[in-house]
Structure 1
Amino acid sequence: MLRSLLVTLLVVYLFLLLTLTLAYKNAQPPPASERIRLTPFESITRDLSRGGRGFWVNIVGNVVVFTPLGAAFVLLGSRPRLWHAALAGLALSAAIEAAQSRSGSRFSDVDDVILNTLGAALGFVAIDAARHLLRPAREPG
């Protein structure tokens, strides 16, 4: 019963994630020269130094939005591994960024892939740590 609920929540999460990242279109599409950003850490460095909305939307948002994916690996996996969650975050994020670049109306940024992958890994680590902390202590013997 719980597993079915978790799978349903994962499907709803993935639907919302894809809707959020692929359905929205900019009213004025960016010029082709600005649509794809391939320099690692360029946006991250910029938004860290400036702070404000860019920091919250780009950095925090990209990390947080992928934490449920990493958490799902712990909650649904029989033998969860951090690298599986990180690889899934990387693959899903790269696929989303590729689709966004093909749409012609969105920005694609390698930093989004980095932050999304980090988010999936952090989601895994947080739930795995909570699972270990909440596990009943074994009796010696």
Structure 2
Amino acid sequence: MRISIPGLGGRLRRARNETGLSQEAVAERIGVSWMTVHRWERSQRAVPDHLLDKVCLLYNKPIRWFLTLEEGDLEQEIGPSGEGPGKVSESAPAYGWSPTGSSTDAAGRVYRKIADAPANYAPLIEKVVEDILDGLKTTRD
């Protein structure tokens, strides 16, 4: 089984940083490529349960530590460029938005947050966006 929950990538990164290990060192010790570790930490790839067990042993953390969210865990998955775990650049053109386009910085940040939200948040996000658009439409009329 593969485990992919919101915030897991941030927890993996935090645990690795606490141990002082590089992604390369972690990869070597658990038998994967450094790119796999990188993708786990950015929530671009789910973690197989047998490898999460190895990670727990390596980082000396119980599995529940990785599977529970704390404040800031989701933000840790955002890269230094401000983009989320790789999804924005892949989906942006489909929505007519480009990071180099004329959109405001705020609109870009909102777009990135929406594009990178977990799929089960979609109905709530759609409702909120509809309410915002209705509010904007009302103020223009």
- Quickly name the TM-score band, shorter chain normalised: under 0.3
Task: Output the TM-score relative to the length of structure 1.
Answer: 0.27
Higher relative contact order (CA 8 A, sep 6+): 1
What TM-score does the superposition give when structure 2 sets the normalisation length?
0.27
Q: Which has the higher helix share?
A: 1
